[in-house]
Amino acid sequence: MNRREFLQTTTAGLALSALGGTAPMFAAAKPKRVALIGTGWYGKSALFRLLQIAPVEVVALCDVDSRMVAQAAEMVAARQASKKTPRTYGDYREMLQREELDIVHVATPDHWHALAMIAAVQAGADVYVEKPISTDVVEGQAMLAAARKHKRVVQVNMQRRSTPHLIEARDRVIKEGLLGKIAYAEICCYYPMRARGNPQYSDPPEHLDYDMWTGPAPMRPYNSWVHPRGWRAFMEYSNGIVGDMCVHMLDMVRWLLDLGWPQRISSSGGILLDKASKANTNDTQNATFDFGDIPVVWTHRSWGNAPDPEFPWAGFIYGDKGTLKADVHKYEFIPRGQGERLSGKALYEYDKYPEDETEKDLERHVAAPMRRHWANFLEMIETRGRPVSDIEEGYITATACILANLSCQLKRTLAWDPEKNQVVDDDEANRLLARPYRQPWEHPDPKKV
């Protein structure tokens, strides 16, 4: 089996079942040269899934935390076939200038996605970027424009689109018409995930270049939540729980139901319970994404109980003949009346990839979807096609979530014009589509990328 045959088979959903417990053998070919920008938790988790399925060579790693990037280099060397230690950098611009790269994986905090991804495609690399693609709407427009202008393949790591049990739910339930007429969907997150407390301000650790970490975002006093992993507590670096968790579920429902742009977005909420915490993200928020015939309604509440404890972070699709419940772990179809109930569960592949079972911090239910997501990306690199989670899909979903936050902030419904890429008849909202950048960083311009 040659490389292209392997990748095509993978996309058809067959090849991964044929893989052994270690990386597969390929016909002799020059390995793709890979670099990772952002070597924290999810960057490594995703990159290690790529190393499981393809004979790539990770040649470079970049992170503003010198200790973290050094540890990541050791881990990559232990996992890749060549056993070579990647070169390490503290500035992605230097890395892109010095290295010849085929693939760049952008796994920084959200406020850095746009500049790093645009620079990577300008340097000639295809890009795998974490979600959400951007923290403001114009960043996303510039990212899409850059990908198309430089003819690069860009896959967004919204891997619900590559999740085996969700593909099964789409094919068995939705495509077979078991839901009947679909007229409503709910998406939600009730995880107690909002940071609570008041860590003291302090000097950043010596191994962290905090000025570079902050980059284009406003400069905040440092505290221990900021790095690593706690930065989502602050809207300066993210879009809160809507940007983190709604983006996944909204994208899942858009994909399952083949929905494009929402026509109108409305949202309300705030910090209703935990007003003492340093976190400035909403602990409670509702949003309605109006797709015309189908409204998709989001709720998050980071306190109290979930209405359905079996599906605390999920999507519920309602038809006149039944209901589909779906999340990252399972799905259930509940017919209205005497029909057959259907269900499916997440795929685990410990027999083929036993390292999944012991890898620190790995979301084990996501390992199989990420392998398939990478395989789809690799095939599209070969064919120069659009991947299943193409940058345009990432732009639509991220923009919808950003507009929900703007609606909540402005306390009014926003109508979106996807042709003009702006809010209809709302100058104030349109001025908020691009965040101010801290000097000397310059906000990307869709016309100049």
* CATH code for position 322: 3.30.360.10
* % of the chain residues with pLDDT over 90: 92
pLDDT at 6: 36
Overall domain count for the chain: 2
pLDDT at 15: 39
Residues 339 and 376 grouped into a single domain: no
Average pLDDT over residues 241-258: 98
Residue 140 counted as domain residue: no
Residues 202-219 have pLDDT tens digits of 999 999 999 999 999 999
The answer to whether residue 366 scores a pLDDT higher than 90 is yes
Residues 286 and 194 grouped into a single domain: yes
* % of the chain residues with pLDDT over 70: 94
Separation of alpha carbons 314 and 105, rounded Å: 27
Residues 244 and 279 grouped into a single domain: yes
Residues 356 and 422 grouped into a single domain: no
Residues 236 and 376 grouped into a single domain: no
Domain edge (last residue) among 368, 388, 408: 388
The answer to whether residue 10 scores a pLDDT higher than 50 is no
Residues 171 and 304 grouped into a single domain: yes
Q: What is the DSSP string of 360-396?
A: TT--HHHHHHHHHHHHHHHHHHHHT---TTBHHHHHH
The answer to whether residue 22 scores a pLDDT higher than 90 is no
Q: Please name the residues in contact with 429: beta carbons below 8 A apart, sequence gap of 6 or more.
A: 406, 410, 414, 423
Grade residue 38 by pLDDT with cuts at 50, 70 and 90: very high
Residue 82 counted as domain residue: yes
Q: List the strands of the sheet with 284-290, edge to edge.
A: 342-345, 330-335, 322-326, 313-319, 182-189, 295-301, 284-290, 264-270, 414-417, 422-423
> DSSP assignment, residue 244?
I
pLDDT at 303: 97
Residues 259 and 192 grouped into a single domain: yes
pLDDT at 356: 98
Domain edge (last residue) among 363, 388, 413: 388
The answer to whether residue 17 scores a pLDDT higher than 80 is no
Residues 306 and 205 grouped into a single domain: yes
Grade residue 432 by pLDDT with cuts at 50, 70 and 90: very high
* CATH code for position 47: 3.40.50
pLDDT higher at 22 or 66: 66
Residue 262 φ/ψ, nearest 5 degrees? -70, 145
Residues 191 and 91 grouped into a single domain: no
Q: For 393, what's the count of Cα atoms within 13 Å in the CB-facing half-sphere?
A: 26
Residue 142 counted as domain residue: no
Residues 203 and 313 grouped into a single domain: yes
Residue 76 counted as domain residue: yes
Separation of alpha carbons 320 and 449, rounded Å: 47
The answer to whether residue 21 scores a pLDDT higher than 80 is no
pTM: 0.94
Residue 344 counted as domain residue: yes
Grade residue 401 by pLDDT with cuts at 50, 70 and 90: very high
Average pLDDT over residues 443-447: 98
Average pLDDT of the residues of the chain: 94
Residue 147 counted as domain residue: no
Residue 93 counted as domain residue: yes
Residue 424 counted as domain residue: yes
Q: Please name the residues in contact with 376: beta carbons below 8 A apart, sequence gap of 6 or more.
A: 10, 11, 155, 162, 387, 388
Grade residue 249 by pLDDT with cuts at 50, 70 and 90: very high
Grade residue 364 by pLDDT with cuts at 50, 70 and 90: very high
The answer to whether residue 330 scores a pLDDT higher than 90 is yes
Domain hosting 363: range is 3-107+351-388
Residues 327 and 247 grouped into a single domain: yes
Residues 77 and 20 grouped into a single domain: yes
